[in-house]
Amino acid sequence: MQQLNCCVLIPTYNNAGTLKRVLDGVLEYTPNILVVNDGATDRTAEILSDYAQITTIHLPKNKGKGNALKIGFAEALKAGYHFAITIDSDGQHFPEDIPVFLDALEQGDTRNALYIGARNMAQSDVPGKSSFGNKFSNFWFRFETGKRLTDTQCGYRLYPLKEISALKLHTPKFEFEIEVIVKAAWNGTLVENVPVKISYDGEERVSHFRTVPDFARISVLNTWFVIVAIFYIKPRDFFRKIKKKGIKKFLIENVLKHNDPPKKKALSIALGVFLGIAPFWGFQTLLVFALAVFLKLNKAIAFAFSNISIPPMIPFIVYASVQLGVLITGEDISFSMESLTENFGALKHLKTYIIGSLTLATIASVLFGAISYLVLILTAKRKIVTDNG
């Protein structure tokens, strides 16, 4: 704890029945403890008065766990700590797991890491609503960040204080613990699980999680994060990856040499091309990621090829779509490329354009998919021959 400049941060609210045991357990490992009393109305203040060696912050009014954690992080950083391990005061966490977080930090490749305790959610005393809520949270965290975790809701965590202080965090209650890990992952912090023990003593433990309002707040937050992820984070990360590697290297490493089988890659390319050409303007990115996840295809490849409809290509795609629509419907439409680029006159005939656009998207996706599949198959065979000498 001393070498890593780490403290233990304990937010507490009306957990007088378990607080003393938690404090005594943590003190066996470190005196670097900071407690934030979030406006408790029970014996919390009286209990804390017996621990002069512990830094305590007493908030006059209960404003939520997220608010208490933010205040605690700021105080810990001000005191010179680099990391903070958060542990709940309701007795569900075991202080003897503190070394698990320290070992993970010491053995990891980076100190810019946020470690979350991974509970055994299959043990008999875990409430059903906790297990469901965790699975729900894990799913959305993966969608929003691309990172798979087994537990995203455990409050037993190690935070890198400097990196967390750089984030713009707004939520005040339980949803804060979702906000902070999603934004940390978006900002480049490694977010990983470490195994911890858990105790759900129904007689002793007091939980302040309100199922309906708190779950609703978390759902609203996840809805917003999904929108941000689709329209900003995923495109940002994609273009950063291309910029860093270069287009040629990106195609070789992320398309040709990716571990996905040729069929999956080709179908991902076909999906991207189809949605890039089809008349789903404004919703292409959303549809690409949603369908890629639903169909279990490669999201990066599908998104890359959906960009076939970049601005310089749009007039040509619209022109070809209208011409195909004319062939199919027999409707007589006369226009030039000049009028198309100036006022999109062809879009006055929306039905013809949509029919032609969907036809062009289908033809192009089949061609791109088939050609890609053949190229990928030949590349794979050539690689096998080369590897075998």
Q: In whole angstroms, give the CA distance from residue 117 to residue 93.
A: 9
Averaged pLDDT, 196-212:
71
- In a shared domain, residues 155 and 25: yes
Q: In whole angstroms, give the CA distance from residue 49 to residue 52.
A: 7
Whether 129 is covered by a domain: the verdict is yes
Averaged pLDDT, 247-255:
70
Sign of CA dihedral 39, 137, 150, 185: negative
Q: In whole angstroms, give the CA distance from residue 293 to residue 304.
A: 15
Burial of 381 (0-12, 13-18, 19+ CB in 10 A): exposed
- In a shared domain, residues 161 and 256: no
Residue keyed to tokens 């400049």: 5
Helices (H), 195-261: 211-228, 234-245, 247-250
- In a shared domain, residues 268 and 177: no
CB 288 within 8 Å of CB 302: yes
The count of structural domains within the chain is: 2
Whether 153 is covered by a domain: the verdict is yes
Q: In whole angstroms, give the CA distance from residue 164 to residue 185.
A: 11
140-159 pLDDT per residue, tens: 999 999 899 999 999 999 99
- In a shared domain, residues 285 and 337: yes
Q: In whole angstroms, give the CA distance from residue 53 to residue 22.
A: 15
Whether the predicted pLDDT of 341 surpasses 60? no
- In a shared domain, residues 109 and 196: yes
Looking at mean pLDDT, say which of 155-159, 213-217, 272-276, 277-281 comes out highest: 155-159
More confident residue, 337 or 330: 330
Q: In whole angstroms, give the CA distance from residue 323 to residue 356.
A: 7
Question: Range of 360's domain?
Answer: 246-387
Q: In whole angstroms, give the CA distance from residue 348 to residue 351.
A: 9
362-381 pLDDT per residue, tens: 999 999 999 999 988 888 77
> What does the DSSP 8-state code read for residue 95?
G
CB atoms within 10 A of CB 71: 18
- Percent of the chain clearing pLDDT 70 (strictly above): 86
Of the pLDDT bands very low, low, confident and very high (cuts 50, 70, 90), residue 346 is: very low
Whether 258 is covered by a domain: the verdict is yes
